[in-house]
Structure 1
Amino acid sequence: MLDHFYRQHGSPMRAASDAALWVARASGIIAGLSLTAVGDGFWLTGLFVAPSQRGQGIAGRLIDSALAQAAGPTWLFCHPDLVPFYQRLGFDDAQTLPEPLVARLQRYQRSKRLVALVRGQSSLASSPGNSTSV
């Protein structure tokens, strides 16, 4: 269902098969995202709001709803231009990442300008062997 929504809007995004999928609905899906468990937290991917619905706070409400159910920090990768948007939603620069995300970010950065952000990071950075600097 979420993949169909992405395709309808010409987005290359795909719903992660091992993730919890979240959607906002009106008469149909108007926004979606994926949350995948990683380390002691989650990795947020696939945030997309239908172009006709943008600017109404839907992304923020969807993220807040999804993360209210998530225990631990949530990381995401975004283009530098989107950092102010995510900062308004409570994300900050990620000083550390779980090992699986370190390798993924390095691979993605070969072809894209991306930064790592985190929301709700608590004890992860102080857990030896549980995080890696970016």
Structure 2
Amino acid sequence: MTDSVKVQGPHVALLLGEAFERVRRATEGPRWRGLRQSHLRILDTIEPEGSRAVDLARRLRMTKQGAGQLVATLLRLGLVDQVPDPADRRARLLVLTDEGGELRGALEVRLAAIEEGWADEVGAAEYATFRRVLLAIAERGVDGA
């Protein structure tokens, strides 16, 4: 680490973990059905016309098996359904059920409220900078490390 980024205090992984924990706590309780953030990421990533599980796994940088386990829970809870892929009848698409769509909408509202709260805590300009930096890091992907 160079002197220009060396700082006192907790390292970035701990800080991001604390932010993530705040999001996790905001999405627990009966409405969220015990779903973990990884389940909610799947719900949030399904395209309106449907998505293949393998594409979700790739987009979310997880194994096909890991995505499959998460999808199985979402199927069991009636939040997603599987339908034939019109482009390839052998393949299946995951689509949100009405209930899954409602939960996804609630997630979007909850996350927007969290971000608005953080912007209030640190100031809109500071939060906008934080978000731009996270976006720049995320767009580089894991190979940019």
Taking structure 2 as the reference length, the TM-score comes to: 0.25
Quick check: which has more Rg, 1 or 2? 2
More helix by share: 2
Q: TM-score of the superposition, structure 1-length normalised?
A: 0.27
